[in-house]
Amino acid sequence: MQDGNASALSAGEKISGSREKGLNRVLEILEFLHTTQRAIGIGDLAKGVNAPRSTTYTLVRSLVDAGLLEMQGDDNRVYFGKKLYLYGMDYVRGNDLLRRGRQEVDNLSRETGETSELCMLQSGRYTIVHASPGTRPFRISSATGLQIPLPWTASGRLLLAGLEKAEIEGMVSNDDLVLPDGRKLRLDDFVADIAKARITGYCVTSGLVDAYTKCLAAPVFSAPGKVEATMCLVVPIDTSEGRTGELIGLLRDRAAKLSIAV
């Protein structure tokens, strides 16, 4: 799931699809719903995940019966179900870091007025696990659950701290190194960034995901040297040196607080 089957035709995919395991189909369905973020008809779902209609009907029925999916109202559309919400809450309950991290992110964005996020690696991909929007008039886009190429972000540089170059290379595709504005990042530069971020204990990137923001990030450790998550602030790119410094200080402080008791 982590890559290569949503982007389909890329690498060593069996072209004609042939026979696919039911479980895999289900995983694709869930992932598809996660990207669409809305209920969808079963027929379209089948098209979307490139699965036979008959199979899709069967699987969806199973999932609806199990409560992982729900039929939306009276239409023939499906979306995530209560069961998934309950399992998700179970995850939160079993995960101190996430629970406290969410709290801390909410605090931070309330105190600073800036957009704040908690980020983690999710099957080798950068993921915004929790976000709190801040109070600025222009809305900085960042939805929970969004997945972004690691090299585009400050958090990405911290999350990979301590990995070997080879490992890093394995987690970053060539496409990932191409920034939204078309510029191509050199892998070596990225690796250097990571090493630097590791030493300084924080990371700032300017105008990477878009030209108007910069991203401040600080690491949360689950064990000495092991970066489990990052907290970050997304601020306008013209934020003054002084304020940026303040925010970084605050951010590092809070991230450190999260680290200790884990």
Partner DNA sequence: AGCGATTGTCTCTTACAAGAGACGCGTGTA
Partner DNA sequence: TACACGCGTCTCTTGTAAGAGACAATCGCT
Contact residues: a second copy, CB under 8 A: 1-2, 21-24, 26-27, 30, 33-34, 37-39, 59, 62, 65-68, 79-94, 98, 120, 122-123, 127, 129, 144-145
How far, in whole angstroms, is CA 108 from its chain's centroid? Answer: 19
Q: Whose Cβ is closer to a second copy: residue 56's or residue 205's? A: 56
In the complex with a second copy, which residue's Cβ is closer, 142 or 239? Answer: 142
Measured from the CB atom, is 71 or 262 closer to DNA?
71
Q: How far is the CB of 8 from DNA (least distance, A)?
A: 14
Q: Is 141 helix (H, G, I), strand (E, B) or coil?
A: coil
Q: In this structure, are residues 150 and 126 in contact, taking their beta carbons and an 8 Å threshold?
A: yes
Q: Which does 43 bind (CB under 5 to 8 A by kind): a second copy, DNA, none?
A: DNA
Residue 17 interacting partner from DNA, a second copy, none (CB closer than 5 to 8 Å by kind): DNA
Distance in Å, CB of 13 to DNA, minimum: 13
Least distance to a second copy from the beta carbon of 68, Å?
Answer: 8
**Residue 89 binds which one of DNA, a second copy, none, with CB within 5 to 8 A depending on kind?**
a second copy
What's the rounded Cα separation, in Å, for the pair 148 and 62? 31
- Who's near 181: CB < 8 A, 6+ residues apart? 211
- Given a contact cutoff of 8 angstroms between Cβ atoms, the answer to whether 79 and 40 are in contact is yes
Contact 193, 163 (CB under 8 A): no
Sign of CA dihedral 65, 92, 7, 179: positive
Residue 180 and residue 32: Cα distance in Å, rounded? 23
Give the footprint of DNA on this chain (CB under 7 A): 17-23, 25, 41-44, 51-55, 57-59, 61, 76
CA-to-CA dists, residue 23 to 42, 74, 202, angstroms? 17, 27, 40
Partners of 262 in beta bridges: none
Give me the least distance between CB of 17 and DNA, in Å please.
Answer: 6
Nearer to DNA, 32 or 221 (CB): 32
Partner whose footprint covers residue 84, from DNA, a second copy, none (CB < 5 to 8 Å by kind): a second copy
CB nearer a second copy, residue 104 or residue 193 = 104
- Distance in angstroms (rounded) separating the CA atoms of residues 64 and 81: 8
CB of 45 to DNA, least distance (A): 9
The distance of closest approach from Cβ of residue 148 to a second copy in the complex, given in angstroms and rounded to an integer, is 14
User: Would you give the DSSP letter of residue 136?
Assistant: -
What 3-state DSSP class applies to 63?
helix
Q: Please say which residue, 89 or 211, places its beta carbon nearer to a second copy.
A: 89
